[in-house]
Amino acid sequence: MALSSTSRQYIAFLTLTNLGFYVFQSYYIIYLRQSGLTFTDISVIFAANFVALALFCLVAGNFADRHGRKKAIVLGAVVNIAGFAIYGLSSSFWPFLAAEVILAGATALVNAGLEAWYMDELKCEGCISDVRVALPLTSGLSNVLGIAGGVVGSFLAAYTLNIPMLAGAAILIIPLIVAIGMFKENYGDRTGGFSSLIRSSMSHFRKSMALKALTAGEMLRGSAIIVYVIIYQPYLVAVGLGTDYLGIYFSLLMIAMAAGSLLSVKAAARFGRHRLLVLSSVLLVFAYLAQPLVHDYVLAGILFLITGFSQGLGLPSIMIWRNTLIPSRVRASTLAVLTVMLNLSAAVMSLGLGPLIDATSMEAAMYVGAILAAAAIPFYFVAHKWSLRVRDELQDMPPAGQAM
């Protein structure tokens, strides 16, 4: 399928942004651990990011709808570069915490602008069908670039562990140039103030049983995924994988996520989005319950690859599904409200997870992850039931207002 220029710009921006993130992330947890942080310290840093993201998202969504999605994306990209650079130049708890808050602001701006900008540009061009190809393709390509990110991170970490952070900041300059030079500006509701847009978004959320159930499922499944994000690097090292090989393993993890992303849309069309997300949750339950039974880094690595595949499998379906349930005029603001809910639940999970690991073991955290993933399953069936009763907003709503 030939994709529109908007889709190609979206793919270029997001894949290049993710490449910088993956170089940064390839040694992220081990870098924090070797800087002297405990799992409790790491959980506090994660929670600070999630809480800040929740707070910033409301303002960022309103900013993007009223003042322009492109402006939000560009500003977020600039702040992202600063946050990565601070991380790479730091080696203690408080600078890391400050960097996480800065990165939360950047993420809020980019998230608030990018998804809403893309969906409404496609509607104006009459190319809305692109999403069924572009979203999983973007996710898949991003994860394929994650292979390169892991290799680059592994090479750079051989010198010092902070160099991948600085390299990630340098890579983020490229998508910033893409956004400045190629993106057109578009808007949501420019007449309403912050409070009125939030009220409209919350009103839509309260009335949409499908959106409420879908969000509840994602709060639980997202919290379950946090477990693997925090523990997979130290757990693999604990069961015998050399630290030098974490970058290579990160590349394998990206392949697993890419495979899940690229399979997701065809699988969703054949089996249903709700069943695909149920499968994602079932895979998480299996991997978490099996992981404490193995103490070999090869088998442990395979189980973590299953969690990565599960994560890739679910993301495109969630993005498409929730956008069918949100009207264009409040799309960025409503996505921001949903992000607040998801990040507050993630903050609670993070704050409890670190002390749990320090007091017990990483295996105990895996059992918690299995319980959360299993609890998400009924909500996807409920969301599907109510989704059948509403129209597809992506097809039926009029185009969003354009820059004059």
pLDDT at 112: 80
Highest mean pLDDT among 19-28, 200-209, 220-229 belongs to 220-229
State the DSSP H helix or E strand holding residue 236, giving kind and residue range, or none if neither.
helix 209-238
pLDDT tens figures, 262-311: 788 778 878 888 999 999 999 999 999 999 998 889 999 999 999 999 98
**Amino acid letter at 303?**
L
Statement: residue 397 has pLDDT above 60: no
Q: What is the largest CA-CA distance in the chain?
A: 61
State the DSSP H helix or E strand holding residue 8, giving kind and residue range, or none if neither.
helix 5-25
Contact between residue 394 and residue 128 where contact means Cβ atoms under 8 Å apart: yes
How far is it, in rounded angstroms, from Cα 356 to Cα 368?
10
Residue 139 in tokens = 């996710």
Statement: residue 393 has pLDDT above 60: no
pLDDT at 235: 92
Statement: residue 140 has pLDDT above 80: no
| Selected residue with higher pLDDT from 401 and 159 | 159
CATH number among 3.40.50.300, 3.10.20.30, 1.20.1250.20, 3.40.50.970, domain 5-391: 1.20.1250.20
For the beta carbon of residue 403, count every other beta carbon within 10 angstroms.
Answer: 9
pLDDT band for 402, please (50, 70, 90 cuts).
Answer: very low
For the beta carbon of residue 143, count every other beta carbon within 10 angstroms.
Answer: 28
Statement: residue 398 has pLDDT above 60: no
In angstroms, what CA-CA distances link 349 with 274, 287, 306?
24, 19, 21
**Amino acid letter at 290?**
A
In angstroms, what CA-CA distances link 35 with 93, 100, 169?
8, 16, 20
pTM, full prediction: 0.74
pLDDT at 374: 97
Statement: residue 121 has pLDDT above 50: yes
pLDDT band for 404, please (50, 70, 90 cuts).
Answer: very low
pLDDT at 88: 86
pLDDT at 144: 74
| Selected residue with higher pLDDT from 390 and 292 | 292
Within 251-373, strands assigned E span none
Alpha-helical regions (H) of 68-185: 69-88, 93-125, 131-157, 163-171, 173-182
Angle between the N-to-C axes of helices 209-238 and 246-271, in degrees from 0 to 180, rounded to the nearest 10: 150
Looking at beta carbons, which pairs linking 204-210 to residues 24 or more positions away fall under 8 Å?
Answer: 204/326, 204/327, 204/330, 204/334, 205/334, 205/337, 205/338, 208/325, 208/386, 208/390, 209/382, 209/386, 210/325, 210/383, 210/384, 210/385, 210/386, 210/387, 210/389, 210/390
pLDDT tens figures, 171-212: 999 999 999 999 988 887 666 666 776 777 888 888 889 899
**Residue extents of the structural domains in the chain:** 5-391
For the beta carbon of residue 194, count every other beta carbon within 10 angstroms.
Answer: 15
How far is it, in rounded angstroms, from Cα 248 to Cα 358?
27
For the beta carbon of residue 2, count every other beta carbon within 10 angstroms.
Answer: 8
Statement: residue 31 has pLDDT above 70: yes
